Amino acid sequence: MNRLPLPLIALLAVIAALALPAPAQAQVDFAACAGSTPANVSADCLSLMESFPAPTVVEVRADRYTLNNYSFYKVDNVGAGVYDAPGGNLLRQFPSGFHFVSARGFQDGWVQIADGGWMLETDLSYSPASELRGVQVLDGLANQFGWVLDTMCTSLTPGAQQDCETGRLVTRFERINLFSYVVDEDGWRWYMVGPDQWIEQRVIAKPVIAERPEGIEGRWVSVDLYEQVLVAYENDTPVFTTVISTGLPGTETEEGVFRVWAALPNDSMSGATGAPNAYDLSGVPWVQYFDNSISLHGTYWHNNFGYRRSRGCVNLSISDSRWLFEWAQESEQTPRNIRPVPMEEATGIGVVVWASGEYTAGGAASK
pLDDT at residue number 209: 97
Q: Report if residue 30 sits inside a domain.
A: yes
In angstroms, the Cα distances linking 251 to 201, 296, 360 are 25, 15, 13
Tell me, yes or no, whether 151 and 201 share the same domain: yes
Tell me, yes or no, whether 110 and 238 share the same domain: no
Q: Please give the residue range of the domain that contains residue 120.
A: 71-126
Q: Which residues contact 183 (CB under 8 A, 6 or more apart)?
A: 189, 190
pLDDT at residue number 29: 82
Q: Report if residue 65 sits inside a domain.
A: no
pLDDT at residue number 337: 57
pTM of the entire structure?
A: 0.86
Residue 112 CA to residue 87 CA, distance in Å, equals 12
Q: Which of 164, 181, 205 is the last residue of a domain?
A: 205
Tell me, yes or no, whether 42 and 104 share the same domain: no
Tell me, yes or no, whether 275 and 185 share the same domain: no
Q: Report if residue 288 sits inside a domain.
A: yes
pLDDT at residue number 233: 98
Tell me, yes or no, whether 43 and 106 share the same domain: no
Tell me, yes or no, whether 43 and 170 share the same domain: yes
Residue 248 CA to residue 310 CA, distance in Å, equals 6
pLDDT at residue number 332: 63
Q: Report if residue 166 sits inside a domain.
A: yes
Q: Report if residue 133 sits inside a domain.
A: no
pLDDT tens string 225-275: 999 999 999 999 999 999 999 999 999 999 999 999 999 998 887 665 555
Q: Point out the residues of the chain with pLDDT beneath 70.
A: 1-27, 270-278, 280, 332-340, 360-367
Identify the burial level of 346 via C-beta atoms within 10 angstroms of its C-beta, where 0-12 means exposed, 13-18 middle and 19 or more buried.
buried
Please choose, from the candidates 354, 243, 353, 362, the residue with its C-alpha nearest in 3D space to the C-alpha of residue 304. Answer: 243
Q: How many domains, in total, are found in the chain?
A: 3
Tell me, yes or no, whether 153 and 29 share the same domain: yes
Residue 34 CA to residue 13 CA, distance in Å, equals 43
First to last CA, the chain: 68
pLDDT at residue number 2: 36
Q: Report if residue 300 sits inside a domain.
A: yes
Tell me, yes or no, whether 150 and 179 share the same domain: yes
Q: Report if residue 19 sits inside a domain.
A: no
pLDDT at residue number 335: 57
pLDDT at residue number 68: 87
Q: Report if residue 10 sits inside a domain.
A: no
Tell me, yes or no, whether 267 and 309 share the same domain: yes
pLDDT tens string 29-41: 899 999 999 999 9
Tell me, yes or no, whether 278 and 338 share the same domain: yes
Tell me, yes or no, whether 118 and 256 share the same domain: no
Tell me, yes or no, whether 162 and 241 share the same domain: no
| CATH number, domain with residue 84 | 2.30.30
